[in-house]
Amino acid sequence: MAHKYIDNYREKGARKRLVEVLRKKGIEDERVLEAIGKIPRHYFFDETFWVQAYKDIAFPIGEGQTISQPYTVAYQTELLHIQKGDKVLEIGTGSGYQTCVLMELGAKVYTIERQEKLYDRAKWVLSAKMGYKANFFLGDGSIGIAAHAPYDKIIVTAGAPTVPDVLLKQLKVGGIIVIPVGNEDAQKMVTVLKTGDNDYEKIVLGTFRFVPLVGDRAW
């Protein structure tokens, strides 16, 4: 079915209400809320499911994967403290929606996805349809992307068994990684601040449920 990419008063109204829901759930960073208020999330859904796009839920995007719940996207983004010009590695492009949020905040994004169909679709929606200039990669992001390291920030959007050392090495000193860590049923959101070449400060936050990070340094 041809996708019309219409963003009218109905979608804009639903988006405004979603922003208020996220604010009530505790998202405080106005820049993150503004980005979510701006991006047409329904563009990442098949038209048949547009009505689902502004509910605060994760939703299937094919290949057994999901577009993350808006609250989760906002929560992870807030933890990254994105500054304009930050070089960000995103592991798990999925739909590309989180990529858009990062770019709206002024980040330069390198995003990697292991599922070819999702990689193709996200690249097409973001580049051809929405005009965002992210750097897309197809492959195993659990080993990072050494060729473009170091990064100011790294975000992992799938659940990992541990924080891969190789990703910590690809962070700049002063950089932050946000990654869900746990078993396949539930993960804790973990942030690690790199304070020196081999020094890290780790904070363990609330519980989430992500699809698994599958790869060489993952499941």
Binding site for ligand SAM (CB under 6 A): 65-68, 73, 91-92, 94-95, 97-98, 112-115, 118, 140-142, 157-158, 210-211, 213-215, 218
CA 106 to chain centre: 14
Give whichever of 104 and 140 is closer to ligand SAM, judged by the CB atom: 140
Question: Minimal distance in Å, beta carbon 191 to ligand SAM?
Answer: 17
Name residue 62's beta-bridge partners: 65
Give whichever of 36 and 171 is closer to ligand SAM, judged by the CB atom: 36
Catalytic residue among 68, 95, 127, 142: 68
Neighbours of 111 (CB within 10 A): 28
> How many alpha carbons fall within 13 Å on the CB side of residue 136?
24
Question: Minimal distance in Å, beta carbon 7 to ligand SAM?
Answer: 18
Start-end of H helices in 149-188: 165-169
Question: Minimal distance in Å, beta carbon 98 to ligand SAM?
Answer: 3
Q: What do you get for the CA distance between the two ends of the chain, in Å? A: 35
What span, in angstroms and rounded, lies between the C-alpha atoms of 24 and 80? 20
What span, in angstroms and rounded, lies between the C-alpha atoms of 24 and 7? 25
Give whichever of 118 and 201 is closer to ligand SAM, judged by the CB atom: 118
Question: Minimal distance in Å, beta carbon 147 to ligand SAM?
Answer: 15
The amino acid at 117: K
Give whichever of 91 and 176 is closer to ligand SAM, judged by the CB atom: 91
Q: Is 95 a catalytic residue?
A: no
**Residues in the chain, overall count:** 219
Q: Which two tokens stand for residue 121?
A: 């679709």
Give whichever of 150 and 212 is closer to ligand SAM, judged by the CB atom: 212
Question: Minimal distance in Å, beta carbon 196 to ligand SAM?
Answer: 27
Instruction: Collapse the DSSP code of 204 into the 3-class scheme (helix H, G, I; strand E, B; otherwise coil) and give the result.
Output: strand
The set of catalytic residues is: 68
